[in-house]
Amino acid sequence: MVYPQNVSTRNITFYTQGNNVASVVTTMPTDIPFACSTNCSFSVNVDQKEVTSQTSAWYREFKNDIANWSVNCDGLITLENYGYLYLLQTQQNRTQIAIKFAIDNGVDGLVIIGGNCNLTSLQINAPYKDIGTYSVGLQGSGAYSTSGVSINQNGEIVTVTGQVYMKSSTAAGGETTITYADMIGKICLGFTRGGVEVREILTTGTPTNDQIMFNSTSGVVTFGRALEADEFIRGIFQ
């Protein structure tokens, strides 16, 4: 998935606990996943400046020069709260998009690449008797950042910016909740069921269908649809 960072705000409702229950609605910025993609690529290129001299022993020598990076996504399908019109308006207004490109290394951890991008291309595809999709090209502006964990050659996990945790298990079948006591106080960055990314991760309320709800106070993940036998689940927390 590609996430535009803080492109808008959402109304969040806070509730008190006890006999006299009260609530207050406030507006908070949030990262909004705007599409699911069937094909996505992150590319970095570094220009090479030739520094060949008489001492190069018949071989050309080069020095690293200016770098650039880009993200391309094909076969995108828009999600709720983010539509084609918003992308077109973003392109017309020449507005930069802050994105996060997540790389799931399985048991080796998670890496998130982020940065500001310009929307360089947008193609909407409307085939006959098929799902309408679109493609976007994003050109990075300035340096990109990395966060999460990385793996060195010795297999040790080195924390770059904030520890990221991964929890995974295989369901027996019929479970509607699972508890990760060691994830109390954390936030859920992403969750997959059977290799499919969960589109909506709630923090309050009751999940339905393919939604999940993560309660950071208790570490409990509640599923809107019961897990199937031998279904593999994986959660990323920070």
pLDDT of residue 92: 87
pLDDT of residue 177: 93
- Identify the band that residue 67 occupies on the pLDDT scale cut at 50, 70 and 90: very high
For residue 49, pLDDT over 60 is answered with yes
pLDDT of residue 14: 47
For residue 9, pLDDT over 70 is answered with no
For residue 1, pLDDT over 60 is answered with no
pLDDT of residue 189: 81
Residue 136 burial (10 A CB sphere; 0-12, 13-18, 19+)? buried
Around Cβ 142, how many Cβ atoms within 10 Å? 11
- Identify the band that residue 66 occupies on the pLDDT scale cut at 50, 70 and 90: very high
What digits encode the pLDDT tens for the residues 157-212? 334 445 678 888 889 999 999 999 988 998 888 888 887 788 888 999 999 988 99
- 111 with 73: CB under 8 angstroms? no
Question: Can you spell out the DSSP letters for 148-190?
Answer: EEEE-TT--EEEEES--EEEEEE--S---EEE-GGGTT--EEE
Around Cβ 102, how many Cβ atoms within 10 Å? 19
| The overall pTM is greater than 0.75 | no
Tell me the HSE value of 154 on the side-chain side, using a 13 A CA sphere. 3
pLDDT of residue 12: 47
Give the whole-angstrom CA distance, residue 29 versus residue 3: 13
